[in-house]
A and B are shown apart, each in its own frame.
Chain A
Amino acid sequence: MSRSKLGVASRAVAAIGGGYALGGLSAAVLALWLPTTPAEAALTGTLASFVVYVCAVMWVFAARTASRAWIGLAVPAALLGVLLLAGLSGSIA
């Protein structure tokens, strides 16, 4: 496992920033989509977001290369983003 300084720095950014973004997105999506009251959905999403964050950080450092780590964050983030936008536009309509 080669660990160039740049690779580690890139992974650290992915883990700290990307992990937080993924956690925050999952909190928002769960808050919108869970079939319960808004308060309960928001609470459940927030409680779960830290678990998502931990998993994201572990994924980032388990991935074979830094770019794979980023892709592994970007794909679920994009999916969650779509769900978030769909939910938000649904709530306005």
Chain B
Amino acid sequence: MKEGFRQSMAWLHTWSGLLVGWVLFLVFSAGTAAYYRDEITFWMQPELHAASRTPAPQADALAHGVDFLQRRGPESPRWFITLPTEREPTVRVFWSGPPPPPAAPGEQRRRTRFENAALDPASGEVASAARATRGGEFIYRLHFDLHYIPTLWARWIVGFCAMFMLVAIVSGIVTHKRIFKDFFTFRPKKGQRSWLDAHNATAVLALPYHLMITYTGLVTLMFMYMPWGPQVAYKDHGGIDAFFADVFPSGGPRDAKASGRHAALAPLAPMLARARAHWDGAPAGRIVVSHPNDAGATVSISRQEGRGLSQNQPSMLFDGTSGALLSTAGDAPRAAAETRGVLYGLHIARFSDPLLRALFFVAGLAGCLMVATGLLLWAVKERQTYAKVLKRGGRIGFGLRLVDGLNLGNIAGVPIAFGAYFWANRLVPVGIDERAAVEIRWFFIAWGAALLAGLARPTRRMWQLQLGIGALLFAGLPLLNALTTATHLGVSLRTGLWPVAGFDLVALALGLGLGAAAWITGRVRHKAKPAAAARAVEAAP
């Protein structure tokens, strides 16, 4: 019975892992990159590289933001001002356009238009018009919203895959008899054994991370996936909206209505000072002004992220015309709310210092490798069942061929897609219509081509070719940056422009890893030994 249980868990691990593996590889890749979405966005807007990075007092930065918004969007129903941080040196302002007309029944609600700008915190100047790009935001959204399909579907697809990832991880642990001993075992050039060892090593190496990131990923969208708890608990207490008001007591902005009477906006500096004093001097992060220049204006100030593990940040709400404090929220969160906040915070890792973030990034790469080696292991195992057929000159089955093609087009193709996206950022002319969408299109053109080529010819030579293309694209990024901006590695390293230098160096390292994978794949091509490719894939992101 004991052995039977382990076998059935092995079966469950194999199949749940295989069926969601390809989506997971994309989700893991995008999620890993998204740890650095601020840096990626900054790299993708070279016009901002020259902006002054003299840190300015928060009150000055805020005043510049308000001045700018008074000029550009005095009628806007809502302003968002994000004060500079160490990772994002500009003042980011967003403001919403007038609300869209009510949608006809059955029609999807039209979205409010948002505009944004980046300001120099010291001078208040618009930090020169940056090129239109979605930057790291595209990658962050890709991680859970995918692209080109409705957000709601995408989130259910990703959630389903995450759920079965969790099943695969737990059943994988159960399957594993000697989990720690096996971790120290690597038997290269032994075919299937080597793949298994590579899969074990990458999985066990970062096992706490894999479990944490999968579960907390579900937690980030849990009210959508599992709304039943709040619905039942609040059935007679005002429904789901009352639940959210209880759990996220951010107060006014969401429900406050405009009065329609004009009133001058009170100065924000005293509110900022009061909020910071309340948080023992911790810096403020985001300021939301609702209905500016209206008698019903409110100002919400939240503490800057990164002061604690939890995603929940305390906030204070002020009257926008008198400057009086209306309410404080989130100073003493309750246990379950804080648990959720910490789980959420762990997933998006906005709290972490550079070293911890780097560790998360490496663990994320290990996750990509775990998924990749798992997918390849399935194909290697399955191929053995065709050993006799192949010897007689027969052909492999449709299922295996499909898996081979999808493996190739994803594991080697997703790096190509990311590479193409970054290259497009520098090569697509600045100022064309829909420029940001064009960059994204290149991501999918490159990936689509890699998938088609992989499905058409899932051969070792194709692996070598695609890994090689990915290697060139990534390793070439520092060169591309040098040719298209004034902030090449020589400059960025010397002046301490870490987001740009870091991007270049990590791209180079990933390119070298992919190159090593391509080289090893090619070196053993004639031997057709899967073992070496195991090591090859291990080196690839």
B11 touches A61 (CB 8 A): yes
The complex places the Cα of A44 from the Cα of B234 at a distance, in Å, of: 14
Summarize B's interface: helix, strand, loop or mixed. helix
B233 touches A58 (CB 8 A): no
B170 proximal to A (CB < 8 A): yes
A62 touches B9 (CB 8 A): yes
Interface string of A31-69 (1 = CB under 8 A from B): 110001111111111110110011001100110100000
A41 touches B243 (CB 8 A): no
In the assembled complex, the CB of B247 is this many whole angstroms from the nearest CB of chain A, namely: 5
B12 is contacted by which of A30, A42, A58 (Cβ under 8 Å)? A58
A39 touches B229 (CB 8 A): no
A43 touches B237 (CB 8 A): no
Please give, as numbers and ranges, the residues of chain A lying within 8 Å of B94 by CB-CB distance.
none
B334 is contacted by which of A25, A39, A62 (Cβ under 8 Å)? A39
The complex places the Cα of A50 from the Cα of B343 at a distance, in Å, of: 13
Take A39-B337, A43-B336, A47-B219 as given contacts and tell me if A1 and B7 are in contact as well, using a CB distance cutoff of 8 Å. yes
B236 is contacted by which of A30, A36, A58, A92 (Cβ under 8 Å)? A92
B5 touches A46 (CB 8 A): no
From A37, A47, A49, residue with most partner B Cβ within 10 Å: A47
Take A58-B9, A58-B170 as given contacts and tell me if A41 and B233 are in contact as well, using a CB distance cutoff of 8 Å. yes
Please give, as numbers and ranges, the residues of chain A lying within 8 Å of B218 by CB-CB distance.
50
B166 proximal to A (CB < 8 A): yes
A77 proximal to B (CB < 8 A): no
The complex places the Cα of A38 from the Cα of B223 at a distance, in Å, of: 15
A23 proximal to B (CB < 8 A): yes
The complex places the Cα of A32 from the Cα of B12 at a distance, in Å, of: 33
Please give, as numbers and ranges, the residues of chain B lying within 8 Å of A18 by CB-CB distance.
none
A27 touches B234 (CB 8 A): no
Chain B's closest residue to A55 (CB) is: B170
Q: Give A76-93 interface residues, CB cut-off 8 Å to B.
A: 84, 87-88, 91-92
In the assembled complex, the CB of A42 is this many whole angstroms from the nearest CB of chain B, namely: 4
Take A37-B334, A40-B337, A58-B12 as given contacts and tell me if A46 and B171 are in contact as well, using a CB distance cutoff of 8 Å. no
A47 is contacted by which of B8, B164, B247, B340 (Cβ under 8 Å)? B340
B229 touches A43 (CB 8 A): yes
Interface string of B213-250 (1 = CB under 8 A from A): 00100110011001011111111110000010011000
A28 proximal to B (CB < 8 A): yes
Q: Give B312-353 interface residues, CB cut-off 8 Å to A.
A: 334-337, 339-340, 343
A38 touches B246 (CB 8 A): yes
Interface string of B1-41 (1 = CB under 8 A from A): 00011011101100010000000000000000000000000
The complex places the Cα of A38 from the Cα of B232 at a distance, in Å, of: 9
B228 is contacted by which of A28, A64, A87, A92 (Cβ under 8 Å)? A28
B167 proximal to A (CB < 8 A): yes
In the assembled complex, the CB of B463 is this many whole angstroms from the nearest CB of chain A, namely: 31
Please give, as numbers and ranges, the residues of chain B lying within 8 Å of A37 by CB-CB distance.
246, 334
The complex places the Cα of A61 from the Cα of B170 at a distance, in Å, of: 13
B230 touches A58 (CB 8 A): no
B235 is contacted by which of A39, A40, A91 (Cβ under 8 Å)? A91
The complex places the Cα of A92 from the Cα of B235 at a distance, in Å, of: 10
From A37, A39, A47, A62, residue with most partner B Cβ within 10 Å: A39
Question: Chain B residues in contact with chain A, CB under 8 A?
Answer: 4-5, 7-9, 11-12, 16, 163-164, 166-167, 170-171, 174, 215, 218-219, 222-223, 226, 228-237, 243, 246-247, 334-337, 339-340, 343
- Could you name 24 residue pairs across A and B whose Cβ atoms are closer than 8 Å? A1-B11, A25-B228, A28-B229, A28-B231, A31-B233, A37-B246, A38-B237, A40-B335, A42-B232, A43-B340, A45-B233, A46-B223, A46-B226, A46-B229, A47-B219, A47-B340, A47-B343, A50-B218, A53-B163, A54-B167, A57-B12, A57-B16, A61-B9, A61-B12
